Each structure stands twice: as C-alpha cells, then as structure tokens.
Structure 1
Amino acid sequence: MQGSVSQFSYGMITPVVAFLTACFGSALGLRCTTRSLHKDRQERRGPWLLLGAICIGSGIWTMHFIAMIGFSITGVTIEYDRAMTFLSLAVAVVVVSIGIFIVGYRGASPLTLGIAGLITGLGVAAMHYIGMHGLKFDGRMTFDSVTVTVSVIIAVVAATAALWAAVSLHSLASATAASVIMGIAVTGMHYTGMAAMSVHAAHPSALADQKLQLLGFLLPVVGGPIGVLVLASVIIMFDPDMLAGGRPAAEALVVRQEARTEERPTASWPLF
C-alpha cells in the first residue's frame, strides 16, 4: 500500500529554518575560505580551508535533517539508523573538504572548478541519499530516476557556484548574496530529492506514531552541528587579525592593491 507522505508536518517552520541553516553554514564557509587566501596566511591556509569545509558540510547536513523533522508518513512510525545518519555527515564534510582544498590550492580555473564542483556536488547528493537510506519504517522506498538525476544536477551546480564564490567574491555583501543563493539551491536539491521518493507502507496503522522522534534523536543530532557552526562563528569573529584592526583576508589584499594603484603618479612615459 502506498503511504501518504507529508514534507511539511509543521507547516513552513522546518523548510524556513532548514534554509536559514544552509545559508548560515555557507556564509561561514565562504568567510573562512576567503580568509585563507591572503598571502600573509599561507601557513594557516589549511586550517582555514578545513574550518570552511566543516561549516559548509555541517550546514548542508543540518539543513537536511531539520527539513526531515517535517517529514511524516501517515500510519507509519519512522526511525533512523544511527550509523547511516552519521555516515552521511562524514560524507558531507569529507567531500566538501576535497572541493574546498582543490580550489583553495589550485585556484578557480574552469577545469579545476569543474572537477571540484562535480566531486562536491556528487558528495552532497550522496549525503542526502545515504541519509534517506538510514530511514527505517515498516515498508519500502522507491525513487524516480529522472527526478533523482535532476536533484544531482542541482547539487553539482550549487556546489560549483559555492566553490567559485569562495575564491572569487571578496566583499561581505557579495558573499552574503552567494550564501543566500547557495541556501536556495541546497534546499531546492533536498526537496527535489524528496519529490523523487515514493513510499510503500507494509502495515499502516491509525495508532502508529506519525511524527518523528524529535527529542529522542533528531533534535540532539542537529544540535551538535549547529553548535559547531556557532563555535566557528566565534572563531571568525575573534580572528586575531580582525582584533588587531585588520580587514578580512582577501578584502585587505584588494584594498592594498587599490591603494597602490591610486598612489601611482600619472605620467606620459611608462612606469616601472
């Protein structure tokens, strides 16, 4: 028997909070990556890139499971396999790290960006479907291959855009806009992937617990990565260079380049 599925058991609360979480994680990741690119921070590039990858990966993963709080199947009790759930988190962080480190050290040439975006996008999609594989209930799930393909394409495009923004956008305003676009794309990928799913319940019951076990599992699960994002925001705010009165990494480099250009005297002969 095909089960009746709802993605919005709590109305628009879960999709809105999921979207904001994706934006928050993307914004932190972009700022970390931007700061890693300053020429005076070569010895700290790796830690900044790693922190950026953790922020983006945790934000995407947390977005997924916040959205899943609103997921329910009529007459079916839903549980999660812990191993598969945390495996999906590991996949999210690892594959985003690969993409971030590739562009952080190799630049944003079309080929490099394409490879990094493909790897990261496939990893994000894998995170989503591994997380869904950890969904346990009395029945089975099937997926429409066309819609799954569309969700993977969205993930690859979103990942490529995020990686490009991480190494190309220097101002706070442009990075904020990129974070919002990334949040829209990642959330869209999630709900596209969910639209690909059909549920076949074995023995639906009117007495079944139709809500997810929020306090028992999902809320503590999403609380951990959210704590990581808050800690990362504190690290970014209290960056020693910022406390010393400096500008964010790439912004400071751009400002100095513009200052050198303005200081050059105008002349009718070449300057060396």
Structure 2
Amino acid sequence: MHGTVDGFSYGLVTPLVAYFMACLGGALGLRCTTRALLVAHSWRPGWLALGSAAIGSGIWTMHFIAMIGFTVEGAPIHYDKAITYASLGVAIVMVGVGIFIVGYKGATGTALFTGGTLTGLGIASMHYLGMAGMRFNGNLEYNTLTVATSVAIAMAAATAALWAAGQVRGFLWSVGASLVMGLAVTGMHYTGMVALSVHLHGTGAPATGDSAASLLAPMLIGPLAFLCLAGVVVVFDPLMVMGKPAWTPAEHKPGVPAHPPVPHPSRRAQLRGRRKVAYRESRTPQNR
C-alpha cells in the first residue's frame, strides 16, 4: 500500500534553515573559488580544495536538515550510517572535480559547462545516495521525468553560480552567486522529493539503523564546525572579501619597473637628430 508522506512536519522551519545552510556552504565555497583565481598556481589547489569541502558540507547538511521534516505515516525512518556518510564524500569529490576544472580553465566556455554539469551531478548524487540510506518498512519509488527535472535544475543553477564566482566582482556579487547555489541545492532537493512515492509493506520486521535524531548531533558538529572554520578564513582574508587580486598592473611590484623602460635611440637616430639641429641653427638670421 502507498504511504502518506509529509515533507514539512515542522512547517517552514526546516526548509528555511536548510536553505540557509546551502547558501552558507555555497558562499564560502564560491569565495574560495574566486580567491583561487587570484593567486599563484602554487596556492590554487588549497583554495579549490577548501571551496569543494565547504560546498559539499553545505549540501550534505542542508539535505539532512530538510530530512528532519520528512515523515512517512506509520513507518518510522532510520538511516544506514555508512551510506549516509558516503554521500558526504560523494558530494565533496564530485563538486571538487567541477570546481577544479573551473579553477584552472576559467569560468568560460567548455570548462564552465563541464564544471557546472559535474557540480550539479554531485549535488544530485548526494541527494539520491542519501535517500538510498533510508531504512523503513517499505520501498521508495521515483517518477523518472521529475527526477530528470531535479538533476537539470541542479546542473543549470550550479553552472550559473560558478560563472558568477568567476567574474571576480566583489563580495556582493559572490553573495548573489551563493544565493543561486543555495537555490540549486534546495530546488533540486524538493523537486526530487516531489518525484518520490512510498510503498509500504503490510507486514515485516522493523527497519534497523540510526534515527534522524541520533544522526543530528554528528551531522551538525562535524560539517558545521568545518563551515565555521572556513568562514574564519574568509573573514580574515581581505582579498577574499573584496575580490581583488594581490596586485594590479598600476601597482609597483618589487623587482619590476613601475613603468615600461623607454628604448634607447640607435646611433643612426642620434646622428639624424644632430643634423636636424645643425640645419635649424644654420637657418637662423644671425647665421645667414
């Protein structure tokens, strides 16, 4: 028989908090991506890795905060711990591949399309793998067309967010990009939940595994602590906040001339100039 599903057991509290977490992870991750585009190649992998971990942690935290409000009438829900935490690794790795492509190739053309597609697929993979970790006395069924729509939303919004991060136009521009990234994550999540239907078994042994409440503490302590640490890095790095490169062409760098050197005239040019001066002097009235 079909189970009655409620995705908003706590009203708008869980969707709003989930969206905030997605935006927070997106903001930190995209600022790190922007910073990576402004530094030397030796520092770039570190910033891109930090950005990937921030976005992946934000996605994962958003998903399970939203799932706190998900219930199935008459069927207690539990979670398989291994699959649940594997979904965090999938999110970080797949998002990281997309971000590294944009970080090294630039947020334009084929690189942007490839990076945005992989980032969006990482968001979708995390969602559906996390859903696969659910354990209850029944089965999950999905509408294929709605699932495809949710994946397309994730890819399109992730591509737009990475493009905005690559523009390097300052802090407010990156805030807008993080809002788009948060929309990608939450939009994909709730569209995927619309595609879901639950078929309950009439009888059977109760599901085993950890409940949402028992997973809540490590879910918040781990990723949230990391997001706070990444936030500290952003706050204390003015170049990340302002979105400016370490130096501009107008600034003087040690060991580099502030202005291009003026080329020294050749010997022939010097003789030609002397002849012109001598000719002008010979044409003066006193020399006639």
TM-score higher than 0.5 here? yes
> Which structure's residues are more often helix, by fraction?
1
Q: Superposed, which structure 2 residues align to 1:74-223 within 5 Å?
A: 74-203=73-202, 213-223=211-221
How many residue pairs were aligned?
Answer: 251
8 Å CA contact 1:29–1:54 kept in 2: the answer is yes
Post-superposition Cα deviations, 1:106-146, rounded to whole Å, max 9, x if no partner, equal 11221111111112211211111111011100011100001
Give the secondary-structure state (helix, strand or coil) at the position aligned to 1:200: strand
Amino acid paired to 1:223: I
Post-superposition Cα deviations, 1:9-42, rounded to whole Å, max 9, x if no partner, equal 1111100000000000010011111111224x33
Q: How far is 1:251 from its partner?
A: 3.0
8 Å CA contact 1:23–1:182 kept in 2: the answer is yes
Which residue number corresponds to residue 36 of structure 1?
36
Please identify, of 61-70 and 212-221, the stretch whose mean Cα deviation from structure 2 is larger: 212-221
Q: Superposed, which structure 2 residues align to 1:39-54 within 5 Å?
A: 39=39, 41-54=40-53
Q: Call closer, same or farther: CA 1:204–1:233 in 2, change over 3 Å.
A: farther
8 Å CA contact 2:139–2:198 kept in 1: the answer is yes
| Pair 1:15 & 2:7 matched | no
Taking the aligned partners of 2:123 and 2:183, their CA distance within structure 1 comes to 14
Amino acid paired to 1:135: M
Post-superposition Cα deviations, 1:138-174, rounded to whole Å, max 9, x if no partner, equal 0111000010000010111122112212222331111
Post-superposition Cα deviations, 1:210-232, rounded to whole Å, max 9, x if no partner, equal xx934312342233111110111
Q: Call closer, same or farther: CA 1:204–1:24 in 2, change over 3 Å.
A: farther
Amino acid paired to 1:184: L
Which residue number corresponds to residue 253 of structure 1?
245
Q: Percent identity between the aligned chains?
A: 49
Largest Rg, 1 or 2:
2
Taking the aligned partners of 2:86 and 2:29, their CA distance within structure 1 comes to 21
Runs (5+) with no aligned partner, structure 2 = 253-257, 260-288
Higher relative contact order (CA 8 A, sep 6+): 1
Moved over 4 A (4+): 257-260
8 Å CA contact 1:79–1:137 kept in 2: the answer is yes
Q: How far is 1:249 from its partner?
A: 8.0
Q: CA RMSD in A?
A: 2.5
Q: Call closer, same or farther: CA 1:237–1:34 in 2, change over 3 Å.
A: same
Give the secondary-structure state (helix, strand or coil) at the position aligned to 1:141: strand
8 Å CA contact 2:143–2:196 kept in 1: the answer is yes
Taking the aligned partners of 1:158 and 1:192, their CA distance within structure 2 comes to 14
